Structure 1
């Protein structure tokens, strides 16, 4: 009798746990509805494009996540969909600097230096979003990242009253895509807990580095 009751309690708890995760995952997806675009031509123009960083290489192999984001950000600027780019990423140590790596590739593409702003403390998605508003005075912007990441980033932006849209770039398919999606589900649970329960804040804020709203240089 005891074993039967324990089994029922365990199964019920497991079902509730899975249902809670699924609910949070769907909540994040629903919040981003109608604000994700998969075409540079279709996305509305915004002053600022916020590019979320990732490593350029995985071992010695070029990281496709990075390449797609950089190519899309360059296209946004070249097609007058954004005026400036805010490159946000991890600057963990001297030999690993995501924002500066992104900037080098933007400069190679002919984007002027005064159109590029760097956030060296974008250690997490939450840090990048909050710092864009509190440090760079960006209350509206276009995000550039993969579609699954767009949804979580927009969810965080919503909570902080930021008017954001997202350009979704391609993601890997197959087993790699399934593994990434599984990790993303857990990341979404953490995001919900971080903002609604734990009130997580960026690791660093620091002084204001406001991005000008006026035109900085001729095209």
Structure 2
């Protein structure tokens, strides 16, 4: 019985050590991402850096509950404002178009047109299945070397880190989003995504699911 208890305690200590190591790694990676990108994230609307191209990251229009997604509308409204104020000249609208019935870029384009943007001010990337895919395709397919990234503040450090690693000179402009009380699960997923990003970039060196022939933006 004592031997069994000792084995159980040993396994508990190992699990606790593994959990502590994982937490330390996540926090360390998080601090690294934030430290490398904090000076390129614009904190106020007026401070958003002017650049020719803005990259708008896709997300679903509605939550699983059926309610409007505040991430979606925050990004749409910020992109429209930046264009109206002359902070960007052209938008690369990137998102998931996994089926004919689910088309994030087209939906975003329609809402941007409704907000006064001309269709000629936008190019659509229908294979932006992830942050990594969007930025890798921006560089290799659309020949984007400088861009203003438009998304929420928690997402910007990872997006900017990837952009820099791919050779894109980028700044971030914060879009509004949900209140912090509704962000706990999202923030935990983001911490894990930052760790996974290091693997994408430096270990298994992944490629986008779809990498088309070059289609440089024309504007």
Q: Same fold (TM over 0.5)?
A: yes
Give how far 1:8 is off: 4.8
Residue 138, structure 1, aligned to residue 117, structure 2: no
**2: CA distance between counterparts of 1:33 and 1:27?**
10
Structural RMSD (CA):
1.7
**2: CA distance between counterparts of 1:84 and 1:9?**
53
Residue of structure 2 equivalent to 1:50: 55
Residue of structure 1 equivalent to 2:159: 153
Q: Is 26-35 or 44-53 further displaced after alignment? A: 26-35
- Equivalent pairs counted in the alignment come to 213
The one-character-per-residue Cα deviations of 1:129-167 (angstroms, maximum 9, x if unpaired) are 110010000011001000011111011111111100111
Residue of structure 1 equivalent to 2:121: 115
Residue of structure 2 equivalent to 1:201: 207
**2: CA distance between counterparts of 1:198 and 1:210?**
27
Residue of structure 2 equivalent to 1:76: 82
In the alignment, structure 1 segments of 5+ residues that lack a partner are none
Q: Is 171-180 or 101-110 further displaced after alignment? A: 171-180
Residue of structure 1 equivalent to 2:99: 93
Residue of structure 2 equivalent to 1:41: 46
In the alignment, structure 2 segments of 5+ residues that lack a partner are none
Correspondent of 1:25 among 30, 46, 60? 30
Contact 1:171/1:177 (<8 A) preserved: no
Correspondent of 1:168 among 164, 174, 185? 174
Q: Which structure 1 residue ranges, 4+ long, deviate > 6 Å from structure 2?
A: none
Q: TM-score, normalised by structure 1?
A: 0.91
